[in-house]
Amino acid sequence: MTKAMELGAAGEQSYENPEGQTVKFHFRGLHDLNVIHDKLEHGAELIYWENLNWDEAAIRDWVTSKENLGIFQPIMPSKGPNYLSREIMEILDRLHSDSDPA
């Protein structure tokens, strides 16, 4: 847990977005922490949960169809503030203008 807390705290940052607003990320703590027993690679089991008392109907209801899995949902734009970094956007603008053949 100590390492997870250190990593979270190390991820705190502050920067200015393209509108000149300050964006701050503050680590508040962990929501959950699990052991990953397998080597972290494709097919590794990240979470395990067991319930021995479910019938087939309950299992079918519990399983999420492919079209409803989070990975297949469209990316929805944030309704909040602009989290882009002004510095990064300026670098990208310079790179784009330097490579512009016009």
- In whole angstroms, what is the distance from residue 36 CA to residue 38 CA? 6
Q: Give the tens place of pLDDT for each residue, 58-85.
A: 988 988 999 999 889 998 888 888 888 9
- Residue 102 pLDDT more than 70? no
Burial group, residue 86, by CB count within 10 angstroms (0-12, 13-18, 19+):
middle
Q: Give the tens place of pLDDT for each residue, 2-13.
A: 888 899 999 999
User: In the chain, which ranges are continuous DSSP H helix?
Assistant: 2-10, 56-62, 86-99
The pTM score is 0.53
